[in-house]
Structure 1
């Protein structure tokens, strides 16, 4: 075995090999063709980088000590540390060619090379002078720290080191100011995606740390396609099974929550706008409803509150003055009782004019009232004067209200002469003019004059056939015991509701007509539609309801479910707990590489008449109906296989939904049941994952 003294010269000469190779890769690496095998070497960079850091810093500490023996040990540590630094730097320079770029990469790269160069320089000139040694080793320690800092920024995000000690202010956003992308979507991308798609690290040539990068897309195409969930790369990737190579975020990273998944999908479905405000969404859109729970309706105001005595003095039976929300300095005022209205009482409001942001004068007789008093309300945002008899001349008094955003003038016969006065209200965001007597030409003129204002002229159904809203299905719970009442309703009472209980699509001729509460006594897949004269039939609304079945004596799975989707094992199939539409919720058993095969042992004299499987369907996540379902009944004499029912497969990617597979069982007595549910072995050609294996997800087996 060679002595250390013989190895030292070899190691010393090898230092220049690492330094030279590092310089070549730094200066000319982009012109070199790196073989795949060498790329594997590059990916060892994270594995090796900690060793040289420790060795070099230990060497620096020992070289500062006056003791010769310790200095000698420090020199040997420096030699070995420099070699490991060379390996780490070279591996890092190779790795840098894989989707890394930007200022952080440049600093990390050259500081790493500088650390290697300093280590070599210190080793050969360490005995030159004490001053040189102290300055050079201090520089080496600083270079190592800075190299690690920029490396952490590349891997974990900007300013990773100091983030825990820096103050972070949570932005409170009012609903009216919130933007769909900036305040709903972008925070999700920053938390779960940008670490791998930012300056310095651009996987798949997709940058997500600025708007231009998102709009450009990556090497696999557009990031999102507005309104198209099937073709949008974002939606495809986040819905892939967790162990799929292209699933995003990668399985070793923090995963999207159920709410985050819903936000991203609703954003793409609604058109994936990058500048739309939440307030511009329709109030019945799911994305608006989700945002309304996330953002505050409580706008922050900076003016001082009015005195309690002033507010109390203004309140009486016909006028109410209240904060817009508890603790707010902003006030809203509402008048009641047309016959008791006194126009002179409006002057009383001047004492709180700075704090008033909303005034409700609906149905008050204002035709002869001078509205110039409103000029004393600098912060007025909303004014309601529906059915008040106001004229175009009075409307001109509102032009000076710079903060006025919402104006309601429904039920006032305004006529064409009011268009000029209304056209001057450029500050408005919403204008309500129902039953205002405006002709079509006046309406069009007003739309052109106020292009940024949402103007609501009310409903005009001339020559237009609209679709009905879907009916509402009300029930107590998804899993019921003996029977349960279903109530169907529709806001238009003259609408006819047609329904089915077997999952078939209702029509206006042959389906059952709803006339009163429905009592169901077995598992049912209810679908309902509304129909009415001069209306288009509504979209279908549906629910899957299960009658709780008999409990078996025992049961045993032949194959374990996939380790990612085990729920509570076989117990989950008989616990009466219905899974959510998110397959990662922990309520589902998932099978891919093996069938779901289970033996069920029944209580004595309890032969069921029907077997139902509750399944999940989500073609976008590779979750399909089973390829086949085989059922046996058995007793002491053996097993008897039931005739197979052909399985109906999906023909396109649809929304996530529940499914049920029901099978009649023989009238003869039996003591046990065996079920084998086989996942689809090859996804169809129309699917993005054509040829791959599919999944089945089951959460309940119901025996009735």
Structure 2
């Protein structure tokens, strides 16, 4: 027979393990209610796949940035890119598990770009999601314990996005308030080109070079109501001089400035130094030494 002390010696560690297991299962309960696709698979696709199969590029006519387009499939795979309940028949699983040097492997190896294949944890979750019916409402709590561990690992180690060529050249625009329409109209009626830099932004591009020497320091003053919104400014071949320096210094968000063949000199340099966001400056044909 075991002594009482020996029984206590055996039971205490066992009870500790049971409590530890129970604690680990209920820790971070909020994670269990997260949807598998939205919180895990979509971020993986964004990091690994969308530079080839997204809004800007749909290689093989396959887009993976929207749920309905993902299920629609691509040119070659058709609806078989994901076969609900069948990982073996799903073209997606076939492609992401091929050897990395295979021509059909996803993601492919591309010259000059980092190769970030699907990890084991990501594969485990994607396969389980498909096997369980590829429901966009499936929650982490619906996964088995091993797949839940993989899910938690992904949540704690989110993959980094591979930047596409378009992402790399896309300007990072500050969030600015919208300039009043009447101000924009007034500037435009003067002959100065004024327009948004891109869609869905209030940041502005102003080009006065079309006016040539008709645009001078006095006309520059009319740009001050849009000083916060002004990011790109072209004053090439205009009659602006060092007197416009105080106005220039107020363009705190300015990133591109053309002053070539204008009348500025070294005296404007201190004002240019105040433009902390300036990335491009053209001073060709000026009196700046």
TM-score when normalising by structure 1: 0.22
Instruction: Specify which structure has the bigger relative contact order, considering alpha-carbon pairs within 8 angstroms and separated by 6 or more residues.
Output: 2
| Structure number having the greater strand percentage | 1
Structure showing greater radius of gyration is: 1
